[in-house]
Amino acid sequence: MARKRHSLQRGETLAGFLFVSPMLIGVSVLVLLPIIATIILGFADWNFVQGWDGMKWVGIENFKKLLNDPLFIKSVRNTLLFLLTVPIYMIISMLLAILIDKHVYFKSYFKVAYFMPYISMVVAVGVVWQVLFQPSYGPINEILKSIGIANPPKWIADPNFALISIMMISIWISIGFNLIIYIAGLQSIPKDLYEAAEIDGASGWTKFTRITFPLLSPTSFFLMVTGIISTFKVFDLIAVMTQGGPIGSTTMMVWYLYDTAFVNLKIGYASSIASVLFGFVMLITLFQWLAQKKWVNY
pLDDT number for residue 202: 84
- Residue scoring higher pLDDT (245 or 220): 220
Q: Catalogue all structural domains in the chain, each as residue range(s) with its CATH number.
A: 2-60 (no CATH), 83-251 (1.10.3720.10)
Residue 84 is classified by DSSP as T
Report d(CA 224, CA 288) in Å as an integer: 9
Sign of the dihedral defined by the CA atoms of residues 34, 123, 145, 137, in that order = positive
Is 163 buried (19+), middle (13-18) or exposed (0-12) by CB count in 10 A? Answer: buried
Give residue-wise pLDDT tens across range 231-276. 888 888 899 888 888 888 999 999 999 999 888 888 999 999 999 9
Give residue-wise pLDDT tens across range 8-39. 677 778 887 888 888 888 888 888 888 898 88
Would the pLDDT of 4 be above 70?
A: no
pLDDT number for residue 72: 93
Give residue-wise pLDDT tens across range 99-139. 888 877 777 888 888 888 888 888 888 889 988 988 888 88
pLDDT number for residue 1: 60
Report d(CA 245, CA 162) in Å as an integer: 8
Report d(CA 193, CA 195) in Å as an integer: 5
Would the pLDDT of 53 be above 80?
A: no
Q: Please give the average per-residue pLDDT across 197-208, as a whole number.
A: 86
Confidence of residue 92 (pLDDT cuts 50, 70, 90): very high
- Residue scoring higher pLDDT (7 or 59): 59
